[in-house]
Copies of this chain bind each other. A is one copy, B any other.
Amino acid sequence: MPIAVTILGNSSAKPTATGHPSAQVVNINEQLFLVDAGEGVQRQMARCGISPLKLRAVFISHLHGDHMFGLFPLLSTLGLYGRRTPLKIYAPRPFGEALEGFLRIFESDLPYTPEWVEVDTTKHQIIFENDTTEVWSLPLRHRIPTAGYLFKQKQPALNVTKYAIERYGLDMHQIVAAKRGEDITLSSGEVIANDLLTYRPYPPMSYAYCSDTNYSARLAKMVEGVDMLYHEATYCAAERKTAKMRGHSTTADAAKVAQMAGAGRLLIGHFSSRYKELEPLLAECREIFPASDIARERETFVIEEKRIKK
């Protein structure tokens, strides 16, 4: 099952006539997660054909407006659409205070409950987990408490090889037992080790969202081996000082993190409104890390599974 990331916005704080602030939808194991929610996020979802009712949870990196002013309008719309199931929103403090004020003043009778889950932006730890998926928090270095998010597929269930089924004439019970990881005793009494019978259909995949942040070698370590990395690149390489001062990264910073992490590919975004042309920014990244791309709005970037045939 691939991981697909749809970019809803890639601009930084200053609004432009063409761009939208940070927001993306991560589809992992057929679950939709909204990551950041800049102004206009619900309209961008509509333009990308993504139903807001399908959202499983929301992850907010930090409480700057360009990463969340679109969230409250979206919560209202989910009410209009009659959502009933609670919606978990993972965000740093003091998000709860903002949510409480919004509900009290604007939406005192929503048909569902938005539930705040506090994210500790100082810890790299699992904050969401189910049978197929893990989400880890990533401490980032910005002007206010900020977390990135690492989405990881769990190990897929074992498959039994056709070869083994025929070779040993396995029956249903034996196949199910083998899928559970057990060795199999044949009627002859012969015991076949599980690893001779089974294989993992595909290696688990991962995606990391890192915005907003200064360059961080520690971050590179935390996302080591990630298949796709989104890393902000607000400024061009020459603007190192401005980036450092503003709690942001340059193209070179983003590319270095991707390189150190051994990422499969890099997406850059959160561009300053001063850049009318993005190609030069991309070129700077590719000098250091060739597998770089611009996280263009309304484009979907897919991590194809490396299926193992047996």
Other 14 A-B pairs with CB < 8 A, given A97-B105, A98-B101: A13-B77, A15-B42, A15-B46, A15-B73, A15-B77, A16-B46, A17-B46, A39-B70, A40-B43, A69-B69, A69-B73, A94-B105, A98-B105, A101-B105
Of the candidates B17, B20, B72, B101, the one whose C-beta lies within 8 Å of that of A47 is B17
A101-136 interface (Cβ within 8 A of B):
101, 105-107
Bits for A291-306, please: 1 = Cβ < 8 Å to B, else 0. Answer: 0000000000000000
Q: Tell whether A308 is near chain B: CB-to-CB under 8 Å.
A: no
Of the candidates B63, B73, B94, B101, the one whose C-beta lies within 8 Å of that of A65 is B73
Q: Tell whether A159 is near chain B: CB-to-CB under 8 Å.
A: no
Q: Tell whether A216 is near chain B: CB-to-CB under 8 Å.
A: no
- The distance in angstroms between the C-alpha atoms of A201 and B238, with both chains bound, is 58
This chain: copies in complex: 2
User: Does A80 contact B40, Cβ atoms closer than 8 Å?
Assistant: no
Q: Which residues of B contact A64 (CB under 8 A)?
A: 106
Using CB atoms, name the residue of chain B closest to A39.
Answer: B73
Check A43/B17 contact, CB under 8 A, given A97-B105, A105-B98. Answer: yes
Using CB atoms, name the residue of chain B closest to A42.
Answer: B15
Of the candidates B14, B39, B47, B101, the one whose C-beta lies within 8 Å of that of A39 is B39
A76 to chain B, nearest CB (A): 5
Using CB atoms, name the residue of chain B closest to A16.
Answer: B46
Using CB atoms, name the residue of chain B closest to A107.
Answer: B65
- The distance in angstroms between the C-alpha atoms of A64 and B76, with both chains bound, is 10
Of the candidates B47, B63, B73, B81, the one whose C-beta lies within 8 Å of that of A106 is B63
Q: Which residues of B contact A97 (CB under 8 A)?
A: 101, 105
Using CB atoms, name the residue of chain B closest to A47.
Answer: B17
Q: Which residues of B contact A94 (CB under 8 A)?
A: 105
Chain A to chain B contacts (Cβ below 8 Å), 18 pairs: A14-B80, A15-B46, A15-B77, A16-B46, A39-B42, A39-B43, A39-B70, A39-B73, A40-B40, A65-B73, A65-B76, A69-B69, A69-B73, A69-B76, A94-B105, A97-B101, A98-B101, A101-B101
User: Nearest 4 CB-CB pairs, A to B?
Assistant: A17-B46, A101-B101, A69-B73, A65-B76
